[in-house]
Amino acid sequence: QKEVEQNSGPLSVPEGAIASLNCTYSDRGSQSFFWYRQYSGKSPELIMSIYSNGDKEDGRFTAQLNKASQYVSLLIRDSQPSDSATYLCAVTGAGSYQLTFGKGTKLSVIP
Amino acid sequence: DAGVTQSPTHLIKTRGQHVTLRCSPISGHKSVSWYQQVLGQGPQFIFQYYEKEERGRGNFPDRFSARQFPNYSSELNVNALLLGDSALYLCASSLAPGRAYDYGYTFGSGTRLTVV
């Protein structure tokens, strides 16, 4: 059973702070890793994708991947109230294109 | 450009009934996947279609079926509805299954199904 684990939160951070979201996965053969943002009542929206060990930066967002530790993280710098949402970690396995999602971490950015 | 279009947006059905959900992918995308999202959980994979062929099936009962048409749109059918089928049903499209590695999947706004 392939699993993706996330802390459900809620994670509360003050406006302007760095929010750190974490995700672990069980399938060592996992190949692609994604972070989706989902506002309440809306559909998931892709924020970042990462495939290689290390960091990948896009604006205020940085995804970090450590395949040896089976760990993916998302850092949000200068957090804004509009970043308040549920963040879903998703993984594709070896030879599979289906996404396996975690339960999501709810982030609240306090003004 | 139009994104992924799903219809209807909301639906209320009675236990035992049948439902058909529809999805039109982004223009040029040939792969469509269906996911079920129960409140408080992450989306769970149901089916993936590419070039009208089933390329993957999740751990769902045979009451769930799907198909893809020549124009790459797709239908998800659920028979003998149960209360537990109440969920947000999401359609996701990509250029091709493998291209998800590059661009990820784009989700539609979903169909909210309530079974009473």
- Got the DSSP string for chain B? ----EEE-SEEEE-TT--EEEEEEPPTT--EEEEEEE-TTS--EEEEEEETTEEEEE-S--TTEEEEE-TTS-EEEEE-S--GGG-EEEEEEEESSGGGHHHH--EE---EEEEE-
Say whether B48 and A98 touch across the interface (CB within 8 A). Answer: yes
A93 touches chain B (CB under 8 A): no
Q: Which pLDDT belongs to residue B103?
A: 66
pLDDT band at A7 (very low <50, low <70, confident <90, very high): confident
Tell me whether the omega of the peptide bond preceding residue A14 falls within 30 degrees of 0, making it cis: no
CA A30 to CA B95: how far, in whole Å?
21
Residue contact B108–A43, C-beta within 8 A: yes
Query: Which residues of B lie inside 8 Å of A (Cβ-Cβ)?
Result: 31, 33, 35, 40-45, 48, 55-56, 58, 88, 90, 92, 97-98, 100-110
B5: its two tokens: 């279009």
**How close, in Å, is residue B73 to chain A by CA atoms?**
18
- The per-residue pLDDT of chain A, averaged, comes to 94
In chain A, which residue's Cα lies nearest the Cα of B100?
A: A97
Please say whether the beta carbons of A10 and A110 come within 8 A: no
- Determine if the peptide bond prior to B8 is cis (ω within 30°): yes
Q: Which backbone phi and psi does A81 adopt, to 5 degrees?
A: -55, -30
* Residue matched to tokens 């009208």: B52
Task: Name the residue with tokens 């590059």.
Answer: B102
Which residues in chain B come in under a pLDDT of 50?
none
| Closest chain B residue to A5, measured at CA | B42
- Indicate the residue of A51, A99, A103 with minimum beta-carbon distance to B45: A99
Give the integer Cα–Cα distance in Å for B93 and B56: 14
- The answer, yes or no, to whether residue A96 has pLDDT greater than 80, is no
- Judged by CB atoms closer than 8 Å, whether chains meet at A4 and B41 is answered as no
Tell me the pLDDT tens digit for each residue of A18-68: 999 999 999 998 889 999 999 999 999 999 999 999 999 999 999 999 999
pLDDT of residue A8: 82
Q: Give A78 to chain B, closest Cα distance, Å.
A: 25
Judged by average pLDDT, the poorest of A57-66, A88-97, A100-109, B106-115 is A88-97
What does the pLDDT read at residue B100? 57
Burial class (CB in 10 A: 0-12, 13-18, 19+), B1: exposed
Which of these ranges, A1-5, A72-76, B75-79, has the smallest mean pLDDT?
A1-5
